[in-house]
Amino acid sequence: MPQRVEPRILRAGLGVLWVAVKAEPRIFGLSVAASGLYAVTTVGSAWVLGDVTQQVVLPAFRTGHATAGALTAGALAIIAVAFFKALGVAGRRFYAGLMQYRLQATYRRAVTRQYLRLPLAWHHQHPTGQLLSNANADVEAVWAPIAPLPMAVGVVFMLVIAAVSMLATDVWIAAVGFLIFPAVALLNVVYQRRLSPLAARAQQLRAEVSEVAHESFEGGLVVKTLGREDLETARFAERANELRDANVAVGRVRGLFDPMLEALPNLGVLAVLLIGSIRLEHGAITSGDLVHVAYLFTLLAWPIRALGWVLAEVPRSVVGWERVRGVLDATGSLPFGQASLEGPAAAALEVRDVRFGYGEGDVLHDVSFTVQPGRTTAVVGPTGSGKSTLTALLVRLVDPAAGLVLLDGVDARDVRRGGLAETAALVPQETYLFDDTVRGNVTLGAELTDEEVWEALRAAQADGFVAALPSGLDTELGERGTTLSGGQRQRLALARALVRQPRLLVLDDATSSVDPQVEARILKGLRESTASVVVVAYRRATITLADEVVYVQHGRVLDRGTHEELLDRSGGYRDLVTAYEVDSLTRGVSRTVSLNGAGNATSQRKEGAR
């Protein structure tokens, strides 16, 4: 059954089109004017042909002679009308495209501006894939009806002129037109209405096929190492077959309606011939009139479908518009204050009773600690205890649900826009590199000299491999820096932070892929810098560099103090930090024991598990 167009959708669709017309009135006007020219000349060309037939051709056939002047005039009239028609077609297509692409560009810019403006918390609530399709596919869908819109407007105009032209010829023949053209238009509306959900489903399945392939190939190593190729192929085949069925369903509808839409005007011409010949017999019309109307039917059969094209795009456009508006109207924001954080010296940091959660339960509870200017604090805790979340709060990627983060005594929320980035730099656990050069990735657009960049690379122990790259600082890193090893990527990210000479440096396990000897050199350099440092670490060499250690577990600060103090009084901390040593020592014992039998190894395991 054809879906009924809900009046709501139609109204919303008209609303979207009105937005477009208001945004680009001049271009819309030009495209409609060109389309009007196209309409007039289309009907005109049929009229001219009928007239030439009646005035020049038939008399010549009857009388057996023709004047060269009349023949030439007839031919020129046909060509002149066609010239203006071609002009109309070209103008209509060009301006329709121009308008569509300008609107796309405007809204793509607006959507990405929102992505950059909205707080990270908003990003956390929206999957990456969805945001990418909002900016791309959805924006495209919104303005898809713009392409056939001028033609549709022109067609309405064309139908009015054609109706007048036919009525002027003969009422009975016009009656055929009044039956056939609405029927063609209606049939096409039904067609597009039935096609559109099927086409949308095929489109959706294409996206799903792509998702399965993407995920499966990305996890190719897992598939291979576990020998799950059959399972994956079955998973993919299921989607591919659904897509096949959806495409065939589209084909069925197209296969049914396309021939009908073609046959209908043909039947119309045949009806015109039949009724026309009767009218001719009565002397109500001439042969030229008959040719004129029959030709008009042939010419109108195609453009009249444009009405259906616009209507077909409307539901998709409305859905796209709702999604795009969802981004544009998102209100969440990270308001900035006026305060500046000035001063060349290291920053003081205070975290006071901070609570934070991503939705289900809190990740951090009542976290408090301070970092004196120039001091280094290590944050230590088991996997999944909320350390990375804490680092995000320190540089105000997110705001705490309760409590305060203070820099130099100023609430981070009161600092002016950009003020925190000048003061504090975070090097996250997972490195993100831009599709840019080495230089671009380090400076991120800041005006910095080559010396400053090399200086930072040296401090991050990255100068060696960067110098060895084919174009040095200007080497393009490509898609997410895949050409570099994990350790190299981490060192570039570190250089990106250091080049800004931050007064507070936050390192989230930022050297985990770097060889120990290289890491030792980096840390030595950092100790000599003047910044305050917060470092998340497991390696004891890193922890012992810190003036103070904050030990977290399950999102709470369990203890604070120097490494020695914590070793002394906190059992959990001791277990975590000395795990390898203890293991090493007990191995010495268990090795001799386990030689006596496997049973002991099992009891060892249970002990370890506690």
Own/partner long-range contacts of 418-424 (Cβ < 8 Å, ≥24 apart): 419/336, 419/339, 419/340, 419/341, 420/341, 420/395, 420/396, 421/395, 421/500, 422/341, 422/500, 423/341, 423/347, 423/502, 423/503, 423/504, 424/347, 424/394, 424/395, 424/502, 424/503, 424/504, 424/505, 424/506
Q: Does 582 bind another protein (CB under 8 A)?
A: yes
What is the nearest approach in angstroms of another protein to the Cβ of residue 516?
A: 5
Q: Say if residues 70 and 2 touch (Cβ distance below 8 Å).
A: no
Query: Is residue 160 part of the contact set for another protein (CB under 8 A)?
Result: no
220 touches another protein (CB under 8 A): yes
Confirm or reject binding of residue 284 to another protein (CB under 8 A).
no
Residues 90-119 that bind another protein (CB under 8 A): 90-91, 93-94, 97-98, 101-102, 104-105, 108-109, 112-113, 115-117
- Region binding another protein by CB under 8 A among candidate stretches 53-61, 176-184, 305-313, 321-329: 53-61
Closest to 426 in 3D by CA, of 392, 377, 453, 381: 392
The two three-digit tokens of residue 417, written as one number: 């826009």
Nearest distance from C-beta of residue 462 to another protein, angstroms: 15
Half-sphere exposure of residue 312: CA atoms within 13 angstroms, side-chain side: 23
* The only residue of 171, 248, 345, 467 in contact with another protein, by rule CB under 8 A: 248
Report the site for another protein in 55-84 (rule: CB under 8 A).
56-58, 60-61, 64-66, 71-72, 74-76, 78-79, 81-83
Helical (H) or strand (E) element with 504 = strand 504-508
Residue corresponding to tokens 């060349």: 344
Print the binding letters for residues 184-213 with another protein: x by CB under 8 A, - otherwise: ----------------------x--xx--x
Q: Which of 14, 132, 171, 186 binds another protein (CB under 8 A)?
A: 132
**Which tokens belong to 78?**
């046909």
Residue with smaller CB distance to another protein, 560 or 574: 574
The reply on whether position 236 binds another protein by CB under 8 A is yes
- CB-wise, 12 or 246, nearer to another protein? 246
What is the SS3 assignment for 568? helix
Token pair of 540, please? 């004891």
Q: How far is the CB of 540 from another protein (least distance, A)?
A: 5
Assess contact for 499 and 443: CB atoms under 8 A. Answer: yes
Q: Of 481-510, which residues contact another protein (CB under 8 A)?
A: 487, 496, 500, 509
Q: CB of residue 341 vs another protein: minimum separation in angstroms?
A: 13
User: By C-alpha distance, which of 163, 162, 172 is closest to 284?
Assistant: 172
Q: What whole-number distance in Å separates Cα of residue 280 and Cα of residue 135?
A: 61
Identity of the residue, 6 or 568, whose beta carbon is nearer to another protein in the bound complex:
568
- DSSP 8-class letter at 349: E
Which one of residues 16, 32, 43, 52 is an interface residue with another protein (CB under 8 A)?
Answer: 52
**Based on CB atoms, which residue is closest to another protein, 115 or 172?**
115
Tell me, rounded to whole angstroms, the distance of Cα 213 from its chain centroid: 19
Least spacing, CB of residue 324 vs another protein, in Å: 13
Per-residue contact flags (x/-) with another protein for residues 347 to 366, judged by CB under 8 A: -------------xx-----
The closest of 418, 391, 396, 392 to 407, measured between CA atoms, is 396
**Interaction of residue 259 with another protein, rule CB under 8 A:** yes
By CB under 8 A, name the one of 30, 379, 425, 477 that touches another protein: 425
For residue 267, state whether it binds another protein (rule: CB under 8 A). Answer: yes
